[in-house]
Structure 1
Amino acid sequence: MPPPLPDELVEEVLLRFPPENPAGLVRAALVCRRWRRLVSDPGFRRRFRKFHRRPPMLGMLCNAYDYLKRFHFARFIPMTGSCSRRTDFEGLRVLDARHGRVLVRRGRGSVLAVWNSITNEVRELPFPQESNHWTAAVLCSAAASACDHLDCHHLPYLVVFVCSKYDRETFVYTYSSDAAAWTQQRYLVKSWMGSALVGNALYFGDLIRGTALKYNWELRRTSLIRLPSLSPDSLLTTTEDGGLGLVTRHVSKLYVWSRKDTHEVDNNAIWERRVIELNTVFPVNVIVKTLYLVGSADGIGTIFMRTGDEVYAIDLKTCKVKKVFEGRSTHSVVAYMSFCTPQHWEALVQVRDQVRVAQVHDKLKVHQ
């Protein structure tokens, strides 16, 4: 019998397991105790994240409304067969997901909650201000130069809440998990179309004025930038190279914009445009004029469009279309992107048995 491969070679093989299929590492850990020790080692997890660099999209969180029972709910849709099962969260609305955390609104009350999907911790936050127009985002509080955001779920985080009352003055509130308190700034923005993270700046689109509010949370500074073009169906996104992107739909055409960093003043930046004919990429039975944008996955060039009760994912690079969900009415989609490298054997069993989402569901329902 030939001698076993040294640990260094086995690890090199395990590092190349696709991160979008976390069950592969579970199966590898079941081979023998030596492989289980290698997979469970903290050093392997760090090297695994560094090797793949970009977290995979493990699933998507769909916000929907049940017209018969008259309640809002969020549904987790796994993007891989090895990920957790589909799970409904009654009374929850998912607002954002980034850096291992999910930001939700609970019920009809003025309560936000931040769920750390790695540690299973849930923290509730009060609304800083009631408003008829608002949006919010969650992110790691470390600057882009100080953190690669591959494994920062244990670090402090920020929640940025942007709101306006009756199209008047706009308020930007920032919640720091370290201080456990909100701070306030003022600006003038009217209507929202999602957020995008680029470096140390969060961008919130203003559909009415055709601008975006740029908020640098490291400097606590806000400014406005002009967007190249808008339609009633538009959303901001982060491009594959980490820049600011904009996607708009007009009738049967999808316009994909990317902002090029020329180190000039914000409003003098160059935008490049690409046009996708929806009729050429969607199945013939889909009426493309009824499609509209419902979400995007930052940094991987994927957007989501809905028609009726069907949700499609579109790869903007290859123009490949895949139906990812069919069911009750979905009005927005938040991509869930994270590495799933279990920290010890018990965590491997949790992933294998697919219980993570169900546990979080039960924990959040306690607060309802």
Structure 2
Amino acid sequence: MTRRRRRRGARPASAPAALEDDDLLRKIFLLLPPQPSTLPRLSVVCKQWRDVVTDPQFLRGFRDQHRKPPLLGLVMGHTGHRYFRSDLDPPDHIPHERFFPRDIRSMNMDIFDCRHGRVVFFAQQLGEVVLFDPATGGRRCVVVPPVFTGKEIGVFNAAVICVSGDEGHVHGDCHTSPFQVVLMGISDDYRQAFASVYSSESGIWGDIISIENREMYDLRQPSTLIGNALYWLFPGDVGEGILEFDLGRQSLANIEMPHGLEYYRHRSLQVILADDGCVGLAILSCYKFEMWERKVSCDDGVAGWVLQKTIQLNTILGLGPMGGLHNLLMGYDEVDHVIYIRTDIGFCMVRLESMQSRNLGKENFSNTAYLPYRSFYTAGTFGKPKHEDQGMDADLVPSRVLKQTRIDVMFKKETETRSKLSKAWAKWFRSNGVPGNKADCPHFRSALKLTQELGTRFIVPTGNEIDGADLDASDEELP
């Protein structure tokens, strides 16, 4: 048998290096955890890796792969100063100052909700709901219906829900998705609840929905989203109750609590998701923790409460001995089914499915409700087209090649720009003899809002165009 001789100069074909194959890189990167520093750290390795992790198709696949956005921390502070407590260790830790820019921190607003990547504020003096996206810095101000700012009805709470109809949409990547805001109010005699829904797609509020009810003093506890309905706990003259808003039917309903409950404070109760997807209720009474479920009877079709579980708190794994009256339910995570409890030994999170707990300590907690914040947040700017210079957070991985302005510097520049804009408007008002409070005119603000939404393709009308439109409107009003 003769052996074939290799031709001089010919070399065996070598397989391409594994880490030079874009398809293989995508498959590997998709398996990495969705933490804020993951993609920025990959992007600084080399240009090829940066092109892979900044490709929009890869980003969509990355979110689809993980489905559930990571918990980044807790938003706190119903009134006064708001605060963000990061749940992550460095390099994924997000400082409070970076999460809430200076202009957001300086505004006197109440925090009402935090869901699907957005934080909902209410600026009472302006009569506006402010929706803020910490991951992008984007915000949207919506003037509430006049009936909610009158003397007979007051704004008590609001909730935000992403309503994206895209197939495979992952909540937590809702930055450009359509959303709805449900605004809740109570009459001045505390016996009637009101609701209205704002649609980001139409830009208008829906009809005012109301329901007669027994006395309810407030709706300040954050809502719980279960299925296609929102639920608020309210204290009243004969104990607590639950107010339900059905998003599909656009209707309000009152749900009475289980009979014979023993608890000490309003914050001893929390609406939760029950095991079978129904409405549940967690009740904290000194050392005892109860979980109830609202079920519909097969016999008569009437819904009622059924006690599912009773647990002694000091037997929950890791908690040990606890105080009594000082134990309070401070928040609930709808996604992970986790409840947050304030105790004498610290602030604890308890997974209701396994009853395993974790003590978060006592530092950097407020005495207001805790709102879990989830998002596919990255420490740098991503989603740009290929070959554009991509940056990263300077606190993560130093790089001599890529440079990006620090996020806090970006917020500072934004604040300075807003200040210059305010001064320019002030000069115009002063030079034309127009009082500054005329800027609060709803017609003026509506025109500004519409101009902003139309984008830069539409030019602000000239004085002649405004006069012409005014004459046309006058002619239309004539009989």
Superposition TM-score, scaled by structure 2 size: 0.64
2:281 is the alignment partner of 1:246:
yes
Alpha-carbon distance change, 137 to 144 in structure 1, aligned in 2, over 3 angstroms: farther
Distance 2:116 2:93 in 1: 18
- Residue ranges of structure 1 left out of the alignment (5+ in a row): 66-71
**Alpha-carbon distance, 1:17 to partner:** 1.7
Following superposition of structure 1 onto structure 2, how do residues 253-264 of structure 1 map, counting pairs within 5 Å? 253-258=288-293
Q: Which residue of 1 aligns with 2:179?
A: 157
Number of aligned pairs? 361
Give the 3-state SS of the residue equivalent to 2:94 in structure 1: coil
1:50 corresponds to which of 64, 67, 85? 64
Distance 1:106 1:355 in 2: 29
Q: In the TM superposition, what whole-angstrom CA distance separates every residue of 1:220-278 from its partner, at most 9, and x where no partner exists?
A: 23334444466432122346876533222111122233556899998526756223322
2:102 is the alignment partner of 1:85:
no
**Residues 340, 349 of structure 2: 8 Å contact kept:** yes
Following superposition of structure 1 onto structure 2, how do residues 139-288 of structure 1 map, counting pairs within 5 Å? 139-142=161-164, 147-165=169-187, 166-183=189-206, 184-189=208-213, 190=216, 191-192=218-219, 193-208=221-236, 211-228=241-258, 231=263, 232=266, 233-238=268-273, 243-258=278-293, 267-268=302-303, 271=306, 273-281=308-316, 283-284=319-320, 286-288=322-324
**Residues 216, 222 of structure 1: 8 Å contact kept:** yes
Q: Which residue of 1 aligns with 2:475?
A: none
Distance 1:147 1:43 in 2: 14
Distance 1:187 1:143 in 2: 30
Residue 28 of structure 2 aligns to which amino acid in structure 1? V
Alpha-carbon distance change, 241 to 121 in structure 1, aligned in 2, over 3 angstroms: farther
Q: Which residue of 1 aligns with 2:45?
A: 31
Distance 1:356 1:240 in 2: 41
Alpha-carbon distance change, 188 to 61 in structure 1, aligned in 2, over 3 angstroms: same
- Tell me: higher relative CO, structure 1 or 2? Use CA pairs within 8 A at least 6 residues apart: 1
Distance 2:183 2:271 in 1: 17
Q: In the TM superposition, what whole-angstrom CA distance separates every residue of 1:268-325 from its partner, at most 9, and x where no partner exists?
A: 2675622332223465575243121121111202122234795332222342122155
- Higher strand share goes to which structure? 1
- Higher helix share goes to which structure? 2
**Alpha-carbon distance, 1:26 to partner:** 2.0
- Quote the RMSD (CA, aligned, Å): 3.8
Q: In the TM superposition, what whole-angstrom CA distance separates every residue of 1:40-76 from its partner, at most 9, and x where no partner exists?
A: 12122222222222122111111177xxxxxx10111
Distance 1:270 1:59 in 2: 33
291-300 or 202-211: bigger deviation:
202-211
- Residue ranges of structure 2 left out of the alignment (5+ in a row): 1-13, 397-404, 423-479
Alpha-carbon distance change, 92 to 314 in structure 1, aligned in 2, over 3 angstroms: farther
**Residues 319, 357 of structure 2: 8 Å contact kept:** no
Distance 1:153 1:181 in 2: 20
**Alpha-carbon distance, 1:169 to partner:** 1.5
Alpha-carbon distance change, 170 to 321 in structure 1, aligned in 2, over 3 angstroms: same
Give the 3-state SS of the residue equivalent to 1:289 in structure 2: coil
2:332 corresponds to which of 280, 288, 296? 296
177-186 or 284-293: bigger deviation:
284-293
Residue 250 of structure 2 aligns to which amino acid in structure 1? R
**Residues 78, 112 of structure 2: 8 Å contact kept:** no
127-136 or 172-181: bigger deviation:
127-136
Distance 1:44 1:324 in 2: 38
1:343 corresponds to which of 375, 379, 383? 383
Q: Which residue of 1 aligns with 2:156?
A: 134
Alpha-carbon distance change, 4 to 161 in structure 1, aligned in 2, over 3 angstroms: same
Give the 3-state SS of the residue equivalent to 1:84 in structure 2: coil
Alpha-carbon distance change, 39 to 50 in structure 1, aligned in 2, over 3 angstroms: same
**Residues 213, 223 of structure 1: 8 Å contact kept:** yes
Alpha-carbon distance change, 226 to 43 in structure 1, aligned in 2, over 3 angstroms: farther
Give the 3-state SS of the residue equivalent to 2:376 in structure 1: coil
Percent same amino acid among aligned pairs? 24
Superposition TM-score, scaled by structure 1 size: 0.81
**Alpha-carbon distance, 1:125 to partner:** 2.6
